[in-house]
Amino acid sequence: MTTATVLQGRGLGGGVCEGEALVTREAIAGWGGIDSRTGTVIESRHELAGQSIAGKVLVFPAAKGSSGWSGIFHLARLEGVGPKAMVFNVMNTKIALAVVVSHVPCVTALDQDPVEVIRTGDLVRVDGDRGVIEVLKRKDVNASGI
Amino acid sequence: MILADDERRMLGGGDGPAVQAAMELLVKYGEVLGAERLIDTDNVCGANIFNAQQRKLAGGSLDDVFAQISLDSPGGFEIPRVRAHSCQLIGPMDTLEWQVQGVPRETRDAILDSESYSARHGIHLMNTCTPYQVGNVPTRGEHCAWMESSAVIYVNSVLGAMTNVEGRESAAAAMLTGKIPYWGYHLPENRHATVHVEVTVDVTTNRDWGLLGYAVGKVAGETVPVLTGIADTPNLVKLKHFGAAAATSGGVEMYHIPGVTAEAQTLEQALGGNRPALTVKYGPAEREAAYARLNTTAADTAVDLVMIGCPHASLDQIRDVCDLLGERTVAPGTELWLFTPRGIRLLAERSGYGDRLRAAGAVLMSDTCPAMGRFVPDGTRVIVTDSAKQAHYLPAIMGVQGWFGDTGECVDAAVTGRWEGNL
């Protein structure tokens, strides 16, 4: 038995959920970065290009690019293709407004870098009210190649 | 957050349900940011022209669409006239050339309906990503609540106005309340540079400034850079290209060029007396890397669309395209589209540029752009543009290949139908 990985940070509300993590080391663009109709990352130069954020616990360092950030996450929520939770490092107005309009658990300012600690495919619990993230089950390391 | 009396009244519903919903959103937003309070603003730029997707998702009356899409509220109330001076930014459609865009008549009618709803609510229909080109020129120290990253970086840096990059919902809430969280670039201490970029190559043309911006955005990310080593005094168009590119590849919302931008005469002033956290060089290698990154999506040289005017073109840029065209005409099978604010379009028509462009087979459009309105000519595979921002976004949004170059190369591509640009 290994001890569960727990990260403590600042909860931004939105309740509690469990889901599969989608992790990127690159900042994410909203408008022009994600298709609000499908949740697919469309930024050609992004490492997640072609993958979908729909229903995922999105773990990323920061929000970048156009002021349409919140608008895209807002529409993605209404289309049913928004993320299930958001975990990020750098606070700015783009992500703050998206936190408000996404209506999902969100946590920031964590005691460990979530982008380093959490891996794509991990099953995680995000408590947006208490600011706690638990890695419940690691993705098969061999399969992920990490 | 600590709220003033008028803010508590709005939050309590004393100014009606729409203002209450707007204040609720601002308070939630401010708390997520960690803002201590709100600040008054009387200069707001937002985006409330609703496209078909937004109207379908929200349903109901335009009051309900505004409430849901612009205020994140269930609605069921009337939206009053806006309290702050407010502008509509670039939108989804050119009200004159909508057929060139391929907009169905039904959609056009819905968008016109949405536009006149905004006008009835006191929102000025500037319909541009560059309000500062058509009369909304904030003063130094003026607290604003603007969307549009390329406009925010311009007014913060070049003019010394104070705004964060707002989003649709916060801007709409600011329109109705005249308030915005006092956070980020509203605080003088956050406006100093922490990254020093030493420029060691000549930066003179619009293309040079776009490349510099694209490179600086990548290294500066969210921080405030200060640039030294620039010999040329840039004009509005060059700084417009630079800022748009820096806000695209990174999240730059403010920069300093000592002696040029509003808040720093010297490097020391730009840094606020501190040492830079990071010093980087922008030389020939960095310039080449930015050019290569901007052109990564393109391989084919047969050009379908040449796009000029991202951010929206100035009257000078339109004249330059006319002069570059001379007596030449656009190649069959290729389109040359220019985008400008509707105010400048009127000037372009009065100055004879509209006729010259039409005679060459080009199209002058306003109010929108291909990335915002999601349109290119049918069957388009390859686009060409003199904008780093458009070269970055349009391939992602429309699934096309994009070449970036200088305006002359772009006009040549329109005339020959082939891309022959190089650094």
CA closest to A103 among chain B residues: B72
- Sorted by where each starts, the structural domains of chain B and their CATH numbers stand as 5-188 (3.30.499), 192-293 (3.40.1060), 296-416 (3.30.499.10)
Other beta carbons within 10 Å of B259: 14
Q: What is the pLDDT of residues B138-167, one digit of tens each?
A: 999 999 999 999 999 999 999 999 999 999
Q: Which helix (H) or strand (E) holds B26?
A: helix B17-33
- C-alpha A133/C-alpha B52 separation (Å) is 38
pLDDT of residue B51: 86
Angle between helices A93-102 and B168-177 (to 10 degrees): 90
Lowest-confidence pick of A29-33, A120-124, B197-201: A29-33
Query: What part of B 381-420 touches A (C-beta under 8 Å)?
Result: 392-393, 395-397
Q: Which helix (H) or strand (E) holds A93?
A: helix A93-102
Q: What is the pLDDT of residues B249-289, one digit of tens each?
A: 888 999 999 999 999 999 999 999 999 999 999 999 999 99
Q: Which of residues B403 and A64 earns the better pLDDT score? A: B403
Binning chain B into helix, strand and coil, the percentages to the nearest 5 are 45, 15, 40
Q: What is the pLDDT of residues B358-404, one digit of tens each?
A: 999 999 999 999 999 999 999 999 999 999 999 999 998 899 999 99
Tokens of B309: 């005017």
pLDDT of residue A146: 46
CA closest to A74 among chain B residues: B69
Q: Is A99 an 8 Å CB contact of chain B?
A: yes
User: Residue A87: how many CA atoms within 13 Å on its side-chain side?
Assistant: 38
Tokens of B210: 């776009």
> Regarding beta strands A63-64 and A106-108, do their DSSP bridges make them parallel or antiparallel, or are they unpaired?
unpaired
- C-alpha B365/C-alpha A69 separation (Å) is 26
For residue A80, the enclosing domain spans 5-144
Residues of A in contact with B397 (CB under 8 A): 32, 42
**Residue B228 Rama label (left phi>0; alpha psi -120 to 50; beta):** beta
- C-alpha B116/C-alpha B125 separation (Å) is 9
Instruction: Report chain A's mean pLDDT, rounded to a whole number.
Output: 93
Residues of B in contact with A98 (CB under 8 A): 167
Q: What is the pLDDT of residues A102-134, one digit of tens each?
A: 999 999 999 999 999 999 999 999 999 999 999
Q: Find out whether A132 and A6 touch, Cβ atoms under 8 Å.
A: yes
Which regions of B301-351 does DSSP assign to beta strands (E)? Answer: 305-308, 335-340
Residues in chain B: 423
Say which residue the tokens 């999601």 belong to. Answer: B374
Q: Exposed/middle/buried for B211, CB within 10 Å: 0-12, 13-18, 19+?
A: buried
Query: Could you give the maximum distance between any two Cα atoms of chain A, in Å?
Result: 45
Q: What residues contact residue B62 under an 8 Å CB cut-off, 6+ apart? A: B50, B113, B114, B117
pTM: 0.95
- C-alpha B215/C-alpha B283 separation (Å) is 10
Structural domains counted in chain A: 1
Sequential DSSP letters for B358-423: HHHT-EEEES--HHHHT---TT--EEEES-HHHHHHHHHHH--EEEE--HHHHHHHHHHSB-----
Say which residue the tokens 């407010």 belong to. Answer: B86
User: Residue B359: how many CA atoms within 13 Å on its side-chain side?
Assistant: 13
pLDDT band, residue B222 (cuts 50/70/90): confident
- C-alpha B244/C-alpha B237 separation (Å) is 11
pLDDT band, residue B71 (cuts 50/70/90): very high
Catalytic residues of A, which ones?
A: 66
CA dihedral defined by A105, A108, A111, A114, rounded to 10 degrees?
80
User: Residue B46: how many CA atoms within 13 Å on its side-chain side?
Assistant: 35
- Domain CATH number, residue A140: 3.50.30.10
**Residue of A123, A125, A126 whose CA lies nearest to A140:** A123
Q: Find out whether A101 and A75 touch, Cβ atoms under 8 Å.
A: no
- C-alpha A134/C-alpha B163 separation (Å) is 37
pLDDT at B310 over 90: yes
**Residue of B131, B195, B216, B260 whose CA lies nearest to B388:** B216
Interface probe for A, chosen from B24, B168, B374 (most Cβ of A below 10 Å), is B168
Separation of first and last alpha carbons in chain A: 20
Residues of A in contact with B26 (CB under 8 A): none
pLDDT band, residue A143 (cuts 50/70/90): low
- C-alpha B209/C-alpha A48 separation (Å) is 29
Tokens of A10: 């600042």
Interface probe for A, chosen from B165, B253, B369 (most Cβ of A below 10 Å), is B165
Please provide residue A90's backbone torsions phi and psi, each rounded to the nearest 5 degrees: -100, 125
Q: Which of residues B59 and B87 earns the better pLDDT score? A: B87
Q: Which helix (H) or strand (E) holds B117?
A: helix B105-120
pLDDT of residue B356: 98
Taking CB atoms and an 8 Å limit, are B72 and A90 in contact across chains? Answer: no
Instruction: Report chain B's mean pLDDT, rounded to a whole number.
Output: 97
Q: Find out whether A9 and A107 touch, Cβ atoms under 8 Å.
A: yes
pLDDT of residue B219: 95
Q: Find out whether B340 and B309 touch, Cβ atoms under 8 Å.
A: yes
Q: Which of residues A4 and B400 earns the better pLDDT score? A: B400
pLDDT of residue B241: 98
pLDDT at A2 over 60: no
Closest CA of chain B from A3, distance in Å: 31
Tokens of B209: 């400034």
pLDDT at A36 over 70: yes
Interface probe for B, chosen from A87, A97, A102 (most Cβ of B below 10 Å), is A97
> Quick one: what percent of chain B has pLDDT higher than 70?
100
pLDDT at A145 over 60: no
